[in-house]
Amino acid sequence: MDLSHVYDNLSDPARLRQAWVRVEDSDGCAGVDGVTIEHFSRNLDQEISSLSRELAGGTYEPLPLIMFKIAKAAGGERTLRVPAVRDRVVQNTLIAEVLPAFEAEFDDCSFAYRKGRSVNQALDEIQSLHQERRVI
């Protein structure tokens, strides 16, 4: 798997803008810096330009995660750690660059943590194999 192009592509303003669309669609909260999706959007050209320069110059550093707890439906609490909007843009750019290479390496029987695949699909596959007597 050759991923040598990834870092160069990470600073491309067009790729950062594509990632921004995915972040904007997610409608998440502000990170530790207090910058909301709405605020980032109002300064989009400047934010994308700044990220591009930092990534190209090797000076980009992600901000700390903001942490908070939410109640779980079944009781108890779940801790969430949320990155700043700018860091989510970089993360989404990176995901878009590396995911195709990783997807090409995964076996069809791999379901965990893959977009478009679920526990129910894995169970259906197991049941189908069992009915075909390919698994016990």
Q: Are residues 51 and 115 in the same domain?
A: no
What's the pLDDT score for residue 129?
Answer: 83
Q: How many domains does the chain have?
A: 2
The boundaries of the domain holding residue 15 are 6-105
pLDDT category at 23 given cuts 50, 70, 90 is very high
* Length in residues, the chain: 136
Q: Is residue 77 part of a domain?
A: yes
Q: Are residues 94 and 116 in the same domain?
A: no
Q: Are residues 122 and 94 in the same domain?
A: no
pLDDT category at 136 given cuts 50, 70, 90 is low
132 backbone φψ class: left, alpha, beta (φ>0; ψ -120 to 50): alpha
Q: Are residues 66 and 127 in the same domain?
A: no
Q: Is residue 1 part of a domain?
A: no
Q: Is residue 56 part of a domain?
A: yes
Q: Rounded CA gap, 65 and 18, in Å?
A: 23
Q: What would the pLDDT profile of 57-107 be if each residue is shown by its tens digit?
A: 999 999 999 999 999 999 999 999 999 999 999 999 999 988 877 777 777
